[in-house]
């Protein structure tokens, strides 16, 4: 049975269908792995106590010959940013420590409609604000490759759950790299779809114009199956596109012809970290073997992507997080001993005590950048440069089909190393934030290990709604690179 | 930056330590943001969101939400079916 | 009016658009539901909930904009107005800021026979907040109203007097009701009116400090509140004081405005475009489509009534005050074929009755077709005008057609010349003295004979025939 946890989602699903094993056995295997490993890794905030019951229902369907859906019986771990009806959803915050949503996110509904079973809710940086999973109210999550290292963030728990075989697939959210960066740090696949591909309805909002949910898995094919299930127009999210969701998984092996791979010169100008350079070289070799051609492209506004990102993300967040006020749900300070002096005091204490430091720092920053007299200099200016950055990409994609780049400037760093230095932490997002700003699809594909034996991925980015090519190229690279390493301890 | 004013505007109680830390960090963050001033953005239309969908409207059809009572059960304090807060006047 | 001072008045009218569901989610907008019953994740501002615009709210706004002679922006933007208040679930109100749906425009109305024009600055869509009730040491929040669509119509500050302000507000309400986009009910709060008032010396070039008056729930109070506020401001300035920019409330029992709070907090709403909502794009075709559904507006209707039905301007203005009344009148006029009479019956008899009973025209006990029937009975000489009033009185309480009443009560006008001749003969025979005097030249006595004959016929004799026969007999 211990083999089950090393299977892909696709293998699990077909194993259940062909009655090789039962959905309940699958679920039990993963739950056992969680019991064995998660005390140390801390990747789950809560588990679904109905998971076995739901697996049993899948088994019942199998035995009565009923359709179980494309992901029937596959356990899925969900970042705690996604509302799950009747299952605690915390966003990694004390603010929502006891929040049980009365509704589910569209992504959750879609996964369940495909037969997937929620195994639990994953740890994350508080309100997805962080790149190391250290800002979680529920404690840092640890990198399974070396527990002294961060797993990345903000979707750290979702990446770790898959890397440490506690779930075959998981869902994260990506606002500035929060899926791709932890995927790279943990040696798994992580995909951020085009903005508008996946409904944001029911997903705790961090930055509305940047947030996008996406899958983690150990293969491109598994993530593709998840995307086929969660993408598509949603009547509850005005920003979802009605562009058709194609059966991408059936086309992954189609020959990609005359693919031009763009290398943005700005990304490589300052020289790369040795390990990161190695990962890019391996990726290039694979692409060469596939017959791809390389072209130099230019994204002149690259160096501004981090400041634009932080201005826009914090501005939007300052407003998005205003709803956590202790009136209708969430944390309320103790006013029995010390009554609220006035309404302002009531809010300040609820919010001041309910939010952690990084969240308060970002809300303060965003409140300032939107405030009277500063709006034009910060928020509006950032949106203007965002427009220029998006044009840079549009121009580049006239000359190439896919952009290859690092995911981060370095492999995973140690827990505690950067938490006190926000700017260094923010600057680490240089390669990932621009994808969100331009609304493009991007993914992280694991390729190698660093000299410290930590995984490193490379990032592939495509033009908007061109997931089809992105997935094909990534899948075929994956076959050639054949990264088979796994954390020693799992 | 006036951190007191920002904290009040954002309705956040901050400890003295947080105030001092934020003030220092934010001034260097804002300085970092200043880099944007190198770019001439005259006449550039701000990009608020990357999608280009036109008129995602909803038809005017009301619906009763069956979980309204669940929503009240997650509230910190209610009286009957109303949310209770300290006096607001 | 105010010596050498001149008031500067502008109105902000919040009209609740009468859609079936809220502006950004499908909660019902039904009034009077149980506490927190019209709610959902969106109106509660639950984590992850997102707004989707109600198309009807946009259409109603376009409609209103067209009726107010505004420009409809081809692209308008929803912004977030950020502030904290317990009845504001998300911590921001979705509103329109620098790119509202309607810009510019004007309305015209009459005050004391003078035609007045007031400019419209803009009209923008926004969502309503919930309702707080205060109970001493705590407050309670009901979110049934949160998210109900509002259209805020902002006038130019060019209203010249309190009376004009009230009439402007009435006109806006009249238009909204004609368009059927708002029920215009001030008491239920579906129409709310805030007044901005300042005063300046007649020869001054700079505006004075503006005070906002809220909480006014009748048009009469709009006039009273502004009147009081102008006098108050003049008095303060003339006695060396200073006007502060503040919000004041109107107390209708004391006829005064009073300051809402000691010190106005500095607002910093941090408006920015809502990234959850894409710009509202309105095509030429959409506008044309809405234009084609626009009903006739009161001003046009009043003009048409004057030319088509040859009724006086005053009558036309009164009859078009409410769309339902105008339609009622027009139905009566058309069906009876006698507009003049229709206008008199509607304006005098019917209106008096409705006013007495505080009924709206929609609740009139007499339908337009029955009133038309009644007029036709008069015009067809079946009953006299006098009998008609009696029949009208019966129609108010009995649900019957006028011809049925006339028949049941035997009120048909007597036009049988034999019967009338007999009555004439009887009266002449019974009044020898009067006959003698009449013949001697006392013409006034003719009325006496008519009266006697009418009395004998219980009012049912055809008056024209009485006249004719009487004249012959008394020759």
Tell me the DSSP string of C112-157.
TTEEEEEEEEEEEEEE---EEEE-SS-EEEE-TTTT-EEEEEEE-S
Nearest partner of C305 among C285, C321, C286, judged by Cα: C321
Nearest to C132 among B51, B64, B88 (CB): B88
Given a cut of 70, whether residue C263 has pLDDT beyond it is no
Nearest to A384 among B9, B41, B56 (CB): B41
C280 versus A424: the higher-pLDDT residue is C280
Q: Is B4 an 8 Å CB contact of chain C?
A: no
What is the least distance, in Å, from the CA of A100 to any CA of chain C? 11
* Same-domain check for residues C195 and C91: yes
What's the pTM value of the predicted model, to 2 decimals? 0.92
- B contacts of A382 (beta carbons < 8 Å): 36
Cβ A316–C275 below 8 Å, yes or no? yes
Name the 3-class secondary structure at C353. Answer: helix
Number of domains making up chain C: 3
Q: For an interface test with C, which of A126, A313, A322, A324 has the most C Cβ atoms less than 10 Å from its Cβ?
A: A322
State the number of CA atoms in the 13 A half-sphere of A288 facing the CB: 6
pLDDT at A243: 93
Nearest to B75 among A101, A328, A353 (CB): A328
Q: Is A403 an 8 Å CB contact of chain B?
A: no
For the stretch A232-279, pLDDT in tens is 999 999 999 999 999 999 999 999 888 999 999 999 988 889 999 999
- B contacts of A335 (beta carbons < 8 Å): 86
Give the C-alpha separation, C20 to C154, whole Å: 25
Cβ C139–B64 below 8 Å, yes or no? no
Domain end residue (candidates: C386, C408, C430): C408
Cβ B53–A351 below 8 Å, yes or no? no
Q: How far is CA C318 from CA C114, C162, C325, C346, in A?
A: 15, 21, 9, 10
Q: Which tokens sit at C414?
A: 């007597």
Q: Could you tell me if A167 and A8 are in contact, meaning their C-beta atoms sit under 8 angstroms apart? A: no
Tell me the DSSP string of A81-119.
TB-BTTB---TTSGGGTT---SS--HHHHHHHHTT-EEE
Q: Is A384 an 8 Å CB contact of chain B?
A: yes
Q: Which residue has the tokens 């009957």?
A: B80
Q: Which tokens sit at A347?
A: 């809010």
Give the C-alpha separation, C472 to C475, whole Å: 5
Nearest to B88 among C29, C44, C139 (CB): C139
For the stretch C341-386, pLDDT in tens is 999 999 999 999 999 999 999 999 999 999 999 999 999 888 888 8
Cβ B71–A235 below 8 Å, yes or no? no
pLDDT at B89: 65
Give the C-alpha separation, A221 to A189, whole Å: 10
For the stretch C389-416, pLDDT in tens is 999 999 999 999 999 998 888 787 777 7
CA pseudo-torsion sign C320, C324, C328, C330: positive
Q: Could you tell me if A440 and A469 are in contact, meaning their C-beta atoms sit under 8 angstroms apart? A: no
CA pseudo-torsion sign A128, A130, A133, A134: negative
Give the C-alpha separation, A361 to C85, whole Å: 22
Chain C: residue whose CA lies nearest to A339: C137
Cβ C90–A322 below 8 Å, yes or no? yes
C-beta atoms surrounding B40 within 10 Å: 9
Name the CATH architecture for the domain at B1-37. Orthogonal Bundle (1.10)
**Angle (nearest 5°) at CA A172 between A167 and A176:** 145
For the stretch C15-72, pLDDT in tens is 999 999 999 999 999 988 999 999 999 999 999 999 999 999 999 999 999 999 999 9
Cβ C82–A323 below 8 Å, yes or no? no
Given a cut of 80, whether residue B1 has pLDDT beyond it is no
Nearest partner of A123 among A88, A149, A148, judged by Cα: A88
Given a cut of 90, whether residue B54 has pLDDT beyond it is no
Cβ C37–B80 below 8 Å, yes or no? no
pLDDT at C261: 65
Q: Is A258 an 8 Å CB contact of chain C?
A: no
The boundaries of the domain holding residue C169 are 5-289
**CB pairs A-B closer than 8 Å:** 164
Q: Is C451 an 8 Å CB contact of chain B?
A: no
Give the C-alpha separation, C475 to A422, whole Å: 118
Cβ B87–C139 below 8 Å, yes or no? yes
Tell me the DSSP string of A304-336.
GHHHHHHHHHHHHHHHHGGG-SSSSSS----TT
Give the C-alpha separation, A425 to A410, whole Å: 12
Nearest to B85 among A322, A327, A363 (CB): A327
Q: Could you tell me if A144 and A41 are in contact, meaning their C-beta atoms sit under 8 angstroms apart? A: yes
Chains near C with 3+ CB pairs less than 8 A apart are: A, B
Give the C-alpha separation, A211 to C47, whole Å: 14
**Long-range pairs, C130-133, Cβ under 8 A, ≥24:** C130/C87, C130/C88, C130/C89, C131/C87, C132/B88, C132/C86, C132/C87, C133/B82
pLDDT at A1: 46
Give the C-alpha separation, C164 to C174, whole Å: 15
Q: CB-based burial of residue A427 (10 Å sphere; 0-12 exposed, 13-18 middle, 19+ buried)? A: middle
Cβ B44–A388 below 8 Å, yes or no? yes
Chain B: residue whose CA lies nearest to C91: B10
Task: Report how many helices (DSSP H) and strands (DSSP E) chain A contains, helices first.
Answer: 16, 11
Alpha carbon A225 to its chain centroid, in Å, reads 16
Whether this model's ipTM surpasses 0.95 comes out as yes
The residues of A carrying an active-site annotation are: 79, 154, 178
Give the C-alpha separation, C338 to C375, whole Å: 8
Give the C-alpha separation, A51 to A405, whole Å: 39
Q: Could you tell me if A409 and A431 are in contact, meaning their C-beta atoms sit under 8 angstroms apart? A: yes
Nearest to B57 among C55, C141, C275 (CB): C55
Given a cut of 60, whether residue C262 has pLDDT beyond it is no
What is the percentage of chain C residues whose pLDDT exceeds 70?
Answer: 99
> A171 in the Ramachandran plot: left (φ > 0), alpha (ψ -120 to 50) or beta?
beta
What is the least distance, in Å, from the CA of C129 to any CA of chain A? 14
- B contacts of A347 (beta carbons < 8 Å): 11
Q: Could you tell me if A131 and A143 are in contact, meaning their C-beta atoms sit under 8 angstroms apart? A: no
Give the C-alpha separation, C152 to A177, whole Å: 41
- B contacts of A378 (beta carbons < 8 Å): 33
Q: For an interface test with B, which of C18, C19, C21 has the most B Cβ atoms less than 10 Å from its Cβ?
A: C21
Chain A: residue whose CA lies nearest to B5: A368
Chain C: residue whose CA lies nearest to B12: C84
Burial A431-460, CB ≥16 within 10 A → b, else e: bbbbbbbbbbbbbbbbbbbbeeebbbbbbb
Give the C-alpha separation, A204 to C301, whole Å: 53
Alpha carbon C298 to its chain centroid, in Å, reads 10
**CB pairs B-C closer than 8 Å:** 112
Nearest to A202 among C48, C53, C271 (CB): C48
Cβ B50–A390 below 8 Å, yes or no? yes
Q: How far is CA C100 from CA C64, C75, C155, C288, in A?
A: 13, 9, 14, 19
Q: Could you tell me if A275 and A451 are in contact, meaning their C-beta atoms sit under 8 angstroms apart? A: yes
Q: Kindly list the residues of chain C whose beta carbon comes within 8 Å of any beta carbon in chain A.
A: 41, 44-53, 80, 82, 84-86, 89-92, 141, 143, 268, 270-272, 274-278
Q: Which residues pair with A449 in a beta bridge?
A: A455
Give the C-alpha separation, C393 to C374, whole Å: 12
What is the least distance, in Å, from the CA of B45 to any CA of chain C? 13
C-beta atoms surrounding A376 within 10 Å: 10
> Where are chain B's structural domains?
1-37
Q: Cis before residue C209, ω within 30 degrees of 0?
A: no
Cβ C45–A318 below 8 Å, yes or no? no
Q: Which residues contact C241 (CB under 8 A, 6 or more apart)?
A: none
> Where are chain A's structural domains?
1-490
Given a cut of 80, whether residue C304 has pLDDT beyond it is yes
Q: Could you tell me if C42 and C50 are in contact, meaning their C-beta atoms sit under 8 angstroms apart? A: yes
Rg of chain A on CA atoms, in Å: 21
Nearest to C281 among B55, B60, B80 (CB): B55
Regions in chain A scoring below 50 on pLDDT: 1
Q: Is B76 an 8 Å CB contact of chain C?
A: no
Q: CB-based burial of residue C341 (10 Å sphere; 0-12 exposed, 13-18 middle, 19+ buried)? A: buried
Cβ B80–C35 below 8 Å, yes or no? yes
Q: Is C351 an 8 Å CB contact of chain B?
A: no
- May I ask the CATH class of domain A1-490? alpha beta
Cβ B81–C35 below 8 Å, yes or no? yes
Cβ B41–A385 below 8 Å, yes or no? yes
């Amino acid at each position: 049975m211990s083999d089950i946890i090393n299977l892909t989602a696709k293998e699990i699903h077909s194993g259940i269908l062909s009655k090789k094993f039962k959905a309940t056995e699958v679920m039990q295997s993963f739950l056992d792995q969680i019991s064995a490993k998660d005390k140390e890794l801390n990747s789950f905030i809560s588990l679904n106590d109905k998971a076995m019951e739901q697996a049993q229902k899948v088994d019942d369907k199998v035995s009565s010959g009923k359709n179980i859906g494309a992901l029937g019986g596959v356990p899925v771990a969900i970042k705690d940013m996604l509302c799950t009806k009747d299952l605690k959803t915390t966003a990694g915050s004390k603010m929502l420590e006891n929040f049980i949503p009365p509704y589910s996110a569209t992504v959750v509904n879609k996964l369940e409609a495909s037969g997937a079973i929620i195994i639990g809710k994953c740890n994350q940086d508080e309100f997805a604000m962080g790149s190391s999973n250290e800002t979680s109210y529920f404690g840092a999550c640890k990198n399974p490759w070396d527990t002294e290292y961060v797993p990345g963030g903000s979707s750290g728990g979702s990446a770790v759950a898959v890397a440490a075989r506690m779930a075959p697939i998981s869902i994260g959210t990506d606002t500035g790299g929060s899926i791709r960066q932890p995927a790279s740090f943990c040696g798994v696949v992580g995909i951020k779809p085009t903005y508008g591909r996946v409904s944001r309805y029911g997903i705790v909002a961090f930055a509305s114009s940047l947030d996008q949910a996406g899958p983690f898995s150990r293969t491109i094919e598994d993530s593709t199956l998840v995307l086929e299930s969660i993408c598509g127009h949603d009547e509850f999210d005005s920003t979802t596109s009605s562009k058709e969701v194609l059966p991408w998984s059936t086309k992954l092996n189609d020959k990609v012809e005359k693919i031009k791979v763009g290398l943005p010169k700005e990304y490589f100008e300052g020289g790369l970290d040795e390990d990161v350079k190695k990962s890019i070289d391996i990726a290039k070799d694979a692409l060469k073997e596939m017959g791809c051609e390389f072209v130099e492209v230019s994204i002149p506004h690259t160096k501004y992507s981090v400041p634009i990102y932080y201005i826009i993300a914090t501005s939007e967040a300052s407003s998005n997080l205003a709803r956590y006020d202790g009136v209708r749900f969430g944390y309320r300070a103790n006013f029995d001993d010390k009554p609220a002096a006035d309404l302002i005091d009531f809010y300040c204490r609820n919010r001041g005590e309910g939010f952690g430091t990084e969240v308060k720092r970002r809300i303060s920053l965003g409140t300032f950048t939107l405030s009277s007299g500063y709006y034009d200099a910060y928020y509006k200016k950032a949106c203007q440069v965002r427009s220029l950055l998006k044009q840079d990409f549009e121009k580049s994609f006239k000359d190439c089909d896919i952009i290859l780049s690092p995911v981060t400037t370095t492999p995973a760093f140690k827990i505690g190393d950067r938490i006190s230095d926000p700017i260094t932490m923010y600057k680490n997002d240089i390669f990932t934030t621009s994808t969100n700003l331009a609304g493009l699809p991007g993914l992280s594909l694991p390729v190698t290990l660093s000299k410290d034996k930590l995984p490193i991925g490379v990032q592939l980015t495509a033009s908007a709604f061109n997931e089809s090519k992105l997935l094909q190229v990534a899948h075929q690279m994956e076959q050639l690179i054949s990264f088979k390493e796994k954390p020693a301890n799992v | 930056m006036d951190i007191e004013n920002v904290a009040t505007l954002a309705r956040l109680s901050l400890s003295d330590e947080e105030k001092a830390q934020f003030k220092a960090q934010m001034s260097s963050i804002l300085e970092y943001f200043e880099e944007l001033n190198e770019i001439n953005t005259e006449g550039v239309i701000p990009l608020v969101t990357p999608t280009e969908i036109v008129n995602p409207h909803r038809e005017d059809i009301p619906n009763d939400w069956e979980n309204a009572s669940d929503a009240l059960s997650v509230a910190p304090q209610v009286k009957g079916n109303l949310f209770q807060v300290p006096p607001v006047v | 009016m105010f010596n050498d001072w001149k008031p500067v008045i502008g109105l902000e009218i919040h009209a609740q658009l009468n859609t079936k569901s809220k502006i950004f989610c499908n909660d019902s907008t039904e009034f009077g539901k149980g506490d927190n019953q019209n709610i959902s994740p969106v109106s509660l501002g639950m984590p992850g909930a997102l707004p989707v615009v109600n198309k009807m709210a946009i259409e109603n706004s376009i409609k209103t904009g067209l009726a107010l002679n505004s420009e409809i922006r081809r692209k308008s933007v929803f912004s977030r107005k950020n502030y904290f208040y317990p009845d504001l679930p998300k911590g921001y109100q979705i509103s329109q800021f620098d790119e509202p749906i309607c810009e510019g425009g004007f309305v015209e109305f009459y005050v004391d026979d003078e035609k007045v024009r007031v400019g419209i600055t803009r009209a923008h869509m926004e969502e309503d907040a919930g309702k707080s009730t205060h109970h001493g040491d705590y407050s309670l929040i009901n979110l049934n109203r949160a998210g109900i669509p509002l259209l805020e119509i902002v006038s130019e500050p060019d209203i010249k007097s309190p009376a004009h302000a009230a009439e402007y507000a009435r006109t806006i309400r009249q238009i909204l009701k004609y368009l059927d986009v708002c029920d215009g009910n001030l008491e239920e709060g579906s129409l709310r009116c805030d007044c901005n008032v300042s005063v300046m010396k007649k020869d001054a070039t700079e505006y004075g400090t503006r005070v906002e008056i809220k909480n006014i729930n009748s048009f009469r109070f709009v006039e009273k509140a502004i009147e009081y506020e102008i006098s108050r401001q003049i008095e303060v300035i003339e006695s060396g004081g200073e006007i502060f920019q503040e919000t004041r409330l109107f107390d209708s029992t004391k006829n005064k405005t009073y300051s809402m709070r000691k010190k106005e907090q500095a607002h910093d709403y941090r408006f920015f475009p809502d990234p959850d909502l894409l710009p509202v794009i309105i095509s030429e075709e959409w506008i044309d489509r809405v234009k084609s559904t626009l009903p006739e507006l009161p001003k046009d209707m009043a003009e048409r009534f004057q030319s088509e039905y040859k009724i006086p301007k005053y009558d036309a203005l009164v009859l078009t005050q409410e769309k339902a009344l105008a339609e009622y009148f027009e139905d009566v006029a058309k069906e009876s074929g006698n507009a003049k009479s229709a206008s008199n019956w509607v304006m005098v008899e019917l209106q008096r009755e409705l006013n007495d009973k505080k009924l709206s025209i929609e609740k009139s006990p007499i339908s337009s077709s029955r009133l038309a029937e009644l007029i036709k009975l008069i015009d067809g000489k079946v009953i006299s005008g006098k009998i008609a009033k009696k029949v009208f009185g019966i129609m108010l309480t009995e649900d019957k057609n006028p011809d049925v009443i006339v028949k049941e009560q035997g009120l048909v006008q007597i036009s049988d010349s034999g019967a009338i001749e007999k009555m004439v003969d009887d009266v002449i025979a019974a009044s020898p003295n009067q006959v003698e005097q009449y013949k001697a030249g006392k013409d006034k006595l003719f009325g006496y004979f008519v009266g006697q004959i009418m009395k004998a016929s219980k009012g049912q004799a055809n008056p024209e025939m009485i006249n004719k026969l009487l004249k012959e007999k008394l020759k």
